[in-house]
Chains A and B, each alone.
Chain A
Amino acid sequence: MKNLWEVFVMDMGELAEGKELELTIRTLNPGKQKYTYQRVKAEVSSQLDKFADALQVRLGRGQLSNRQFSIRVIETVQRMPERYR
């Protein structure tokens, strides 16, 4: 199933294409987990059919951007120190 993700950025330049990015994204899939976050390594593309999942973008004050991306989540990144997990 195609997953829908969302990211907040202050500047669209944070979503550089053609390289691996580290992003904090939240799931928009329906259900109790909706809007929970994870830190991931991912690739994004403005070609909507390049990757299987979709990425929606919001700006710093929550404004929904009209730019859409596709996204490939490579792996989850654990930022939180082990002692707190």
Chain B
Amino acid sequence: MGKISAPRSNREFIEACVKSGDAVRIKQEVDWDNEAGAIVRRVCELGEAAPFMEKIKDYPGFSYFGAPLSTYRRMAISLGMDPASTLPEIGKEYLKRTNSEPIAPVLVDRRDAPCKENVLLGDEVDLTELPVPLVHDGDGGRYVGTWHAVITKHPVRGDVNWGMYRQMMWDGRTMSGAVFPFSDLGKALTEYYLPRGEGCPFATAIGLSPLAAMAACAPSPIPEPELTGMLAGEAVRLVKCETNDLEVPADAEIIIEGVILPDYKVEEGPFGEYTGYRTSPRDFRVTFRVDAITYRNNATMTISNMGVPQDEGQLLRSFSLGLELEKLLKSQGIPVTGVYMHPRSTHHMMIVGVKPTYSGIAMQIAQLAFGSKLGPWFHMVMVVDDETDIFNWDEVYHAFCTRCNPERGIHVFKNTTGTALYPHATPHDRKYSIGSQVLFDCLWPVDWDKTNDVPTLVSFRKVYTQEIQDKVTNNWTDYGYAPVK
């Protein structure tokens, strides 16, 4: 693999985005109370450059970076690629890097860790000293963690987990958050900490390098510190926490350390969520007690504003879920030609392209997809043949509307695992993470005669000879039409 030149920190990433025109510096003062959130939301809905807000009301010295990865251009920049790279090119690069050898992190001395430039311990610990934004009007609180990693370690297996579990500031030393029971942290809590009544040490890292954030968001079986190294082509630098044994990214902007309480909960939510709704109501949820805060000089807090498409949660989660499913299906010998989730599906619909070489292949794909660790995060799988361009929604939609037989092509899976955030689920199902899922099989049945039973697609590309296509294409402007981009 050639030398990768990816931004190693949030600061390098901002610089690269400003240089390419994919971020704008906002010099005027911005209010943390709704205004910053509204800017980020509008940026997401317009697909605009990421806002780097340099002056925050009440919080001199701090800044915000919003919508860090809500476009494929910024995703390409984060990987050290040309911003104009296409989605298939970015996906191919992700697969190449994440199929390489794991790169272990390195531990650095705290003197070499910028995140230790300011250390608050004991009575100095106060979350209100950080510019925690009210992201959406009507949210249950100011959200500390919207684009970050909650770092924990399994006490027995030693697995390190970096996950994006939203965290709301309840008071100056307490946060509450949504942790699903099927998530890595949820399993560690329910399997180990809660039955024993033991607190679970955690560290929240905010303002990560974009690839560390990508790793924290990806549903990969590879531990996130190694995955970050593989994506970046070099080891991620970690440093020991002040108050527990966890290791955190040394170049992160802000670190919050503490303990997840095993037997005490405070209220959390509601919050504008990635589905584009506030679905989960206020409830008593996992509670984080804070013991220390460390941060860089002039720290930049990252903000993701989830809502209607498209934000970085939808973009990145769709991207990584699709590619991780592609890896899984290929590992099982399924002849998939590609997997894609449109971010605008709010990562709910998986589109799988496959060579339909045997009967039941769509069902096999759906069973693997829904039965995997990835499964609770989406509830629709659509399987199309290798002639359909999975990245072209017009083609996929046409295949769905014409080839999916209402009786034989739609298969509902009942009593599966779902998230509490599904807007279509009942309140009861949401409370207990009960899901249901559906397969849309858009393949021609393999027992249909290919000549006499399978309909012929009538399109410019399919029904005319290459000679005619070339003639028409070459004469297009002569006919009086504008050139096709």
**A residues adjacent to B (C-beta < 8 A):** 8, 10, 24, 26, 31-38, 58, 60-64, 79-81, 84
Contact B281 A61 (CB under 8 A): yes
For the A-B complex with A36-B169, A60-B281 known, give 18 more contacts whose Cβ atoms are closer than 8 Å.
Answer: A8-B140, A8-B267, A10-B281, A24-B266, A24-B267, A32-B58, A32-B129, A34-B33, A35-B134, A36-B170, A37-B170, A38-B171, A61-B138, A61-B279, A62-B137, A80-B174, A81-B263, A84-B264
- At the interface, is chain A mostly helix, strand, loop or mixed? loop
B278 located at the interface, meaning its Cβ lies under 8 Å from any Cβ of chain A in the complex: yes
Q: How far is the CA of A81 from the CA of B172 in the complex (A)?
A: 17
Instruction: Assess whether B141 is in contact with A37, with CB atoms less than 8 Å apart.
Output: yes
Residue pairs across A and B with Cβ atoms less than 8 A apart, 29 shown, are A8-B140, A8-B282, A10-B281, A10-B282, A24-B267, A32-B58, A33-B128, A33-B172, A35-B134, A35-B141, A35-B169, A36-B128, A36-B169, A36-B171, A37-B171, A38-B171, A60-B281, A61-B270, A61-B281, A62-B136, A62-B137, A62-B138, A62-B140, A63-B138, A80-B174, A80-B264, A81-B264, A84-B261, A84-B264
Overall SS of chain B's interface: loop
Contacts of B137 in A (CB 8 A): 62
Q: Evaluate whether A31 and B270 lie within 8 angstroms (CB atoms) in the complex, with A36-B172, A62-B278, A84-B289 already known.
A: no
A37 cross-chain contacts in B, Cβ below 8 A: 141, 170-171, 266-267
CA distance A62 to B279 in the complex (A): 10
B342 at the interface (CB under 8 A from A): no
CA distance A37 to B129 in the complex (A): 16
Residues of B within 8 A of A60 (CB): 270, 281-282
Contact yes or no, A61 B289, CB < 8 A: no
Complex alpha-carbon distance, A36 and B169, angstroms: 7
The residues of B that contact A36 with a CB separation of less than 8 Å are 128, 169-172
Chain A's closest residue to B132 (CB) is A35
| Bound complex: CA A38 to CA B266 (Å) | 10
Nearest to B283 among chain A residues (CB) is: A60
User: Does B139 make an interface contact (CB < 8 A)?
Assistant: yes
